[in-house]
């Protein structure tokens, strides 16, 4: 029957009611002025899962010195040396190595808000390998550069709410990584500027999965989405919805039919 077997009326109805998948990525972003005759070239979404908040609040700005009565009047040298713990005027406490009047080498910084950083420092900022624990118990452990998470690292949310392990660029997930959530959902693939972007694979504990292109946390581009009930859609996605040319196939234990054509915002071809 041409390129595809025509789906039964029951299958068409099922496609219309159940093919829409708005919450796979956990984002409610919607493109402005969306229409199937004028599709957006990209989708704009803001990060909503809070991974960046630990850095926005804790890792910047870093003070290059600790001003206190204990440190005042001491001769500054360019050699690496250990000094007694020093209290800052903001309530912070630094214990570790110094160089030229700055934190430099190995050290520990305890802040008044309860956050603790322990690891390498360079010119007054975390640099190299280090561990930052937030007041709520969330932890980042990995590489740093000039006061920012940069390189390989793992971030674990407090209370088992989720974790990310992979590459970072200036405090944001960028590059290759993997992520999982408390509800059992998992993602592995590419990130850019803190969001899923590029090729990736997402899976839910119920058995649904998506493999394909992502753009700013949305299914966007070409991909394959397998439903928990066995249906499989392969084709085009726009801003998290099946839009463009694609093919939906039903498992053989239903009727083995398929439906090909141009989808619009999750709605099947007419």
Determine the average pLDDT of the residues in 231-235: 96
Distance CA 164, CA 180 (A): 7
pLDDT of residue 119: 98
Domain 81-165: CATH class, spelled out: mainly beta
Residue 35 vs residue 191, higher pLDDT: 191
CATH entry, 183-269, from 1.10.8, 1.10.760, 2.20.110, 2.40.30: 2.20.110
Determine the average pLDDT of the residues in 147-158: 96
pLDDT of residue 253: 84
- Share of residues in the chain with pLDDT > 70 (%): 71
Least confident of 39-43, 154-158, 159-163: 39-43
pLDDT of residue 70: 45
The residues, any chain, with a CB within 8 Å of residue 96's CB and separated by 6 or more, are 82, 83, 103, 105, 106, 107, 108, 121
Write the pLDDT tens digit of every residue in 114-139: 999 999 999 999 999 999 999 999 99
Task: For the chain, give every residue range classified as CATH 2.20.110.10.
Answer: 81-165
Asked if 80 and 257 count as a contact pair (C-beta separation under 8 A), the reply is no
pLDDT of residue 29: 40
Averaged pLDDT of the chain? 80
Residue 149 vs residue 65, higher pLDDT: 149
Determine the average pLDDT of the residues in 141-166: 96
Exposed / middle / buried, residue 158 (Cβ in 10 Å: 0-12, 13-18, 19+): middle
pLDDT of residue 56: 52
Model confidence band, residue 247 (pLDDT cutoffs 50, 70, 90) = very high
pLDDT at 7 over 50: no
Distance in Å from the first CA to the final CA of the chain: 17
């Amino acid at each position: 029957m041409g390129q595809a077997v025509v789906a039964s009326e029951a299958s068409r109805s099922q496609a219309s009611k159940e093919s829409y998948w708005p919450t796979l990525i956990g984002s409610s972003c919607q493109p402005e002025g969306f229409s199937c005759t004028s599709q957006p070239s990209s989708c704009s979404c803001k990060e909503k899962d809070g991974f960046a908040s630990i850095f926005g609040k804790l890792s910047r700005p870093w003070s290059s010195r600790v001003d206190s009565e204990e440190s005042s009047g001491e001769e500054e040298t360019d050699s690496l040396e250990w000094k007694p713990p020093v209290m800052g005027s903001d309530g912070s406490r630094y214990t570790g190595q110094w160089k030229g009047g700055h934190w430099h080498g190995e050290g520990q910084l305890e802040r008044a808000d309860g956050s603790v950083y322990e690891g390498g420092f360079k010119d007054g900022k975390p640099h190299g390998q280090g561990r930052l624990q937030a007041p709520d118990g969330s932890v980042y452990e990995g590489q740093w550069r000039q006061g920012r998470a940069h390189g390989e690292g793992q971030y674990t949310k407090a209370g088992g709410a989720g974790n990310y392990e992979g590459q970072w660029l200036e405090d944001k997930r960028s590059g290759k990584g993997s992520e999982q959530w408390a509800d059992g959902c998992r993602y592995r693939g590419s990130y850019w500027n803190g969001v899923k972007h590029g090729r990736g694979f997402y899976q839910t504990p119920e058995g649904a999965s998506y493999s394909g292109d992502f753009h700013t946390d949305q299914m966007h581009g070409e991909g394959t989405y397998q439903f928990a009930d066995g249906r499989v859609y392969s084709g085009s996605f726009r801003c998290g919805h099946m839009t463009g040319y694609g093919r939906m196939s039903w498992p053989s234990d239903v009727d083995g039919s398929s439906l090909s054509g141009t989808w619009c915002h999750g709605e099947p071809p007419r």
